[in-house]
Amino acid sequence: MTTRSLKNSMKKLDKSFKSISEEAKVAAEEKAVIEIDRKTGNNLGKSTLKVEREAEQALMSFVNILKVQQYDLFPGNEYPTPFTRIPIFTPNQRQKAREVEHEKTKNCDWIRLNSLWDKGGVYKSGPALTVYDEDTFLGILKSRKFRLKGIPSQMPGENIGKLTTISQNNEKDVNVHSGYFILSGLETTIKGVNPPKEGWGGKALQKRRESVERLGATILKFTQPQNLERYSGAQIQMLTIKWIRENDDSCYYFELPPAITVWMDEFRTYIDFKIRRKLTSFGKALHRFLCSQKSNKRFTKEWDVILTAIGYEGKISEANRKARSQLSKLISLDFIISGEIIGNGRSEPYKLEVVFKNNSVS
């Protein structure tokens, strides 16, 4: 394909994205016809399905022109194991999280995500992230549709909305996971229930949109990443986000960067969304951590070490109270057989002791 024909094709694709945007505006003004997807239990508007379908077709056009290999993905409950053991997403209220982040960045621009299990020297820059944002991230992970293989500069996330030419700098092929989601569909995936007849409210969608954009604005840096030597010292966007339309119910394209994709393929933990939805923010953070320890029949560790790993900021007595409640919940949900905080915090340090239901992954 010549450079001229490539540019002409790219112009046509840009027009197709613009047409999607225009059609979406018209569709948003119409009363959506709701139908039940009996497999997922989600309410899906026909106009919304049409926008998503056309967005995927546009992506496939990019993939074909840019000579990127595409494979279907069938996502489950996978989650990068390193993320379960470092405090990226804290169980704090938004305001508290911002205050803590502000304090940590007074004398530096990067926050070291310390934990006993951090073998990669992970640093973070960007907005404060809470467990609410982790719910958003998990929902996006469940929306993955494609594995794309090709050189980094030719991935759709680098080229949607602009012209490009095939790179000649001998880049090595990488893998990325990608997909599309409609904002209201993402909300349904996260909540696990059908939306109200009138749909999710504008306030709920705006809150979720802000969460999506916080994820897209987060940069990670690794000094000695596990199995990611080529990314040592590199600054990596946690999630590439490109929106197709900008009204209340936006359609987004996303890509996981190659470094995170490696972890999703090789170092993954399984987080049961059904259990997670029934927990508090603190319980979700604790459950996320424990999910990466299920290879043990019995797990015991100093409590303050675990609190550091999940990003808890507050009084130890309050953490103990929250933990006892959520451990009881995890027992009732058949995730663990038993769980308790032992020790007195003085002569005997507090420890978390957990016996898992089984040692197989879900």
Number of domains in the chain: 2
Question: Which one of 227, 251, 270 terminates a domain?
Answer: 270
Give the domain extent around 30: 3-80+113-270
Q: Answer yes or no: do 179 and 288 share one domain.
A: no
Q: How many CB atoms lie within 10 A of CB 181?
A: 23
- Enumerate the β-bridge partners of residue 236: 220
The two three-digit tokens of residue 1, written as one number: 């394909």
- pTM greater than 0.75: yes
Q: What is the block-wise mean pLDDT of the chain (362 residues), using blocks of 10 residues? A: 51 49 40 33 54 68 67 85 93 92 89 82 93 97 86 65 50 82 93 91 92 95 71 80 69 88 88 96 98 93 96 94 97 96 93 83 43
Q: Answer yes or no: do 35 and 142 share one domain.
A: yes
- Residue 308 sits in a domain of what CATH number? 1.10.10
The two three-digit tokens of residue 151, written as one number: 């050189």
- Domain membership of residue 73 (yes or no) is yes
Q: Answer yes or no: do 250 and 309 share one domain.
A: no
Q: Answer yes or no: do 278 and 187 share one domain.
A: no
Confidence (pLDDT) at 137: 97
Confidence (pLDDT) at 39: 36
Q: Answer yes or no: do 289 and 239 share one domain.
A: no
Question: Which one of 245, 270, 295 terminates a domain?
Answer: 270
Nearest to 79 by CA among 266, 355, 205, 235: 266
- Domain membership of residue 166 (yes or no) is yes
Distances (CA, A) of 88 to 133, 260, 325, 359: 10, 14, 23, 26
Distances (CA, A) of 231 to 41, 222, 227, 238, 266: 40, 7, 9, 13, 16
Q: Answer yes or no: do 293 and 157 share one domain.
A: no
Q: Answer yes or no: do 299 and 206 share one domain.
A: no
Question: Which one of 236, 253, 270 terminates a domain?
Answer: 270
- Domain membership of residue 163 (yes or no) is yes
Q: Answer yes or no: do 123 and 256 share one domain.
A: yes
